[in-house]
Structures are given as C-alpha cells and as structure tokens.
Amino acid sequence: MDKIVLSALDLAPVKKGENAASALARTVKIAQHIEKLGFERIWVAEHHNMEYIASSATALLIQHIASHTKQLRVGSGGIMLPNHAPLVIAEQFGTLETLFPGRIDLGLGRAPGTDQLTAMALRRNNLNTAFQFPQDVKDLQRYFSADNYDAKVRAFPGEGLDIPLYILGSSTDSAYLAASLGLPYAFATHFAPAQFASASMIYHQNFVPSAALEKPYFIACVNVIAADSTEEAEHLSTSFYNLFAGIVTNTRRPLSAPTDEVIYKGIPAIEQAVHSMASCAFIGDKTKIAAEMDKFVKDHQVDEIMATSYIFDDEKCLKSFSLLREIQD
C-alpha cells in the first residue's frame, strides 16, 4: 500500500461498566499511543445529550489531550458551528492555538450533533442557524484574519493566528461548500457512507484554490478494526456492530464486550440498516486491510485516512492502530 497520512477520530465512547472519566482517559491514551506511532492528528467530536458519549465539551477535551501530548495535532471533528456563535469559537480556538502553537485544527460541521429538542436548548430555540453555516464559516475566517484589525468586533486571542479550518460533512452539500471555499474536506464515511463517492467527485471537480489551500485535500474518516488474524478482527467487530444497532434502533448502549454473534442477527430490517450505516469498515489482518484500503484510497483520491476504532478491549484497540501504522511501513 502506498504511503498515506494517518490520523484518528475518537468520540470518547463510554464502555459498559465504566464512566465518562474512564472514557476521557482512554481518549488520552489513544492520543499518546498514536503520537508515538507518527500519526498526524487526533480529532474529537461534539455530541450532546448522549449518555454513552463523553465528548460534548470539545474545546475542553482538545486542551486536555494537547496538554498530555507533545507534537500531535489535536482538533475538532468537529465543532457543530450552528450550536455556537462564531466569535466564541474564534476566541476558544485562538486560545488553544496560543497555548499549543502549530498544533490545533478546527473542523467545522453543519449538523447539531444531537436531537431536535436538545438542539433547541443549545440554540435558544433558533433552529435556522444551520442555514447560516456558510456565512458562519466566512465569519470565522474573518475573525482569524490579520486584515480584521480595523473591524468593530475582533477575536482575542485569535486574530492573525494560523488555525487551519476543515469542512466536515456527510452529504454532497458539504462537498460543494468545501470546494467553493478552497478548504480541506473531511467526510464522515464511518457512519454515513452513502454519498461518499459522489462527495469526493464533487469536491475534486469543483475545488477553487484559495489562500488556505492550493489543491484539494480530502480526508476519509473510516472504521478500522485490525488484529493479528481476520477471524479475531471479525470477533472484535461485534462490539462495533452492536453499538451501531443501538443507534439505528434508538436504544443506545455503552460500548460492550464482543459477542459470538451480533445481537440483531436474524432481524432483516436492523441488519440492513446497520450494514448501510457501517459499510465502510476495514476489518481484518494487515494483508486484508492493506489491499482493501489501497483500492479505496486510489478510487476516491483520498489524501488522509482518519481511523476510528470501536474496540472494547483497550490494549486491542491500541494494537489496531499499531497494525494500521505497520501497513504503511
């Protein structure tokens, strides 16, 4: 397999029998591990009102991870911008960049990262903010620009700092936006693969060079479960599939130990829904994953693989990242 940039996404999932503190500690452990392996970055997500996901205060978690690592880039995958005033995000990430120079990424998403009722609580009943997303991104760019020095409203810290912006998406709408703004683009293939191929094509065909980026830069976030044998990887993957079954049936559960069979076996509707949601998963030994990932990268012009690994056992999770690194060596 040809060399490609490797990174990680972590949602700080809470494991069965554990709590948010242990989930956040696990995220730090993953960050420290992949830093030693030479990964480029780790991103953490923004989710709200989810009992078994600990990454809700994204900027705080970024600060925590950055303070426990040395060189690894740390960022948001992503900040759900409709939930926030752009000025506040500019100040928060300006502060992070000031504390950890050259290490902070700002990935931006349009979705609320939660249900509608919680979105109303976050947005003070303003549910139209998602439609303002393109303008909000431009406002952020303005706050970070050194040319904003004579504006009435300015971001301190933030103004004049080099904080890379990334557009996140799970549909073709985000592909058009990232292309038109000339920004790098990260696609949520790990849970919404349906429009991935179309989004890649749209982004590459419509990309407009900008001061931020001369040519397209495309990140695919994918599920990776690597083990010494494909049989072991498939066993470990039942934790991942069972977790997704909880999502599609709205019966969310903590990340649980592997099972002999997926818990929804024999229920066609759930089987189909989970397959659709989790179809972009690289599960197997190094040889199997290398062949599949090489084709995936070439077919879709992927510049960076951002791996997320829903593996119950901490050491096996870390080993999965190690094996992914070995595929590249």
CATH architecture of 5-328: Alpha-Beta Barrel (3.20)
CA atoms within 13 A on the CB side of 134: 11
3-state secondary structure of 25: helix
What does the pLDDT look like over 148-159, one tens digit per residue? 999 999 999 999
Q: Report the C-alpha gap between 36 and 44 in whole angstroms.
A: 18
- The CA-atom distances, in angstroms, between 120 and each of 48, 82, 127, 310, 313 are 12, 11, 7, 30, 36
What does the pLDDT look like over 159-209, one tens digit per residue? 999 999 999 999 999 999 999 999 999 999 999 999 999 999 999 999 999
What does the pLDDT look like over 229-247, one tens digit per residue? 999 999 999 999 999 999 9
Q: Residue 88 — pLDDT band, cuts 50, 70, 90?
A: very high
pLDDT at position 126? 61
3-state secondary structure of 324: helix
Maximum Cα–Cα distance for the chain, whole Å?
64
Q: What pTM was computed for the model? A: 0.96
Where in the chain are the domains? 5-328
200 Cβ contact partners less than 8 Å away, ≥ 6 residues apart: 175, 187, 218, 300, 301, 302
What does the pLDDT look like over 245-280, one tens digit per residue? 999 998 889 999 999 999 999 999 999 999 999 999
Q: How is residue 140 written in tokens?
A: 């952020």
Q: What is the dihedral of CA 285, 288, 291, 293, to 10 degrees?
A: -60
pLDDT at position 18? 96
pLDDT at position 272? 94
Instruction: Tell me if 76 sits within 8 A of 43, measured CB to CB.
Output: yes
Share of the chain above pLDDT 90, in %: 88
pLDDT at position 122? 78
For residues 46-72, average pLDDT = 96
- The CA-atom distances, in angstroms, between 274 and each of 12, 106, 244, 281 are 21, 30, 6, 12
What does the pLDDT look like over 107-128, one tens digit per residue? 999 976 677 788 778 765 566 6
Look over the chain and give the mean of its residue pLDDT values, rounded to a whole number. 94
Sign of the C-alpha dihedral computed for residues 128, 134, 139 and 140 taken in this order: positive
Q: Report the C-alpha gap between 74 and 64 in whole angstroms.
A: 10
The phi-psi region of residue 255 (left if phi > 0; otherwise alpha if psi is between -120 and 50; otherwise beta) is beta
pLDDT at position 128? 65
Matching residue, tokens 């409709």: 82
Q: Report the C-alpha gap between 166 and 302 in whole angstroms.
A: 15
CA-closest candidate to residue 220, choices 285, 169, 177, 178 = 169
What does the pLDDT look like over 92-109, one tens digit per residue? 999 999 999 999 999 999
pLDDT at position 250? 87
pLDDT at position 46? 95
User: Would you tell me how many other CB atoms lie within 10 Å of the CB of residue 38?
Assistant: 12
Q: How is residue 148 written in tokens?
A: 């904003």
Residues in the chain: 329
Does residue 297 have a pLDDT over 80? yes
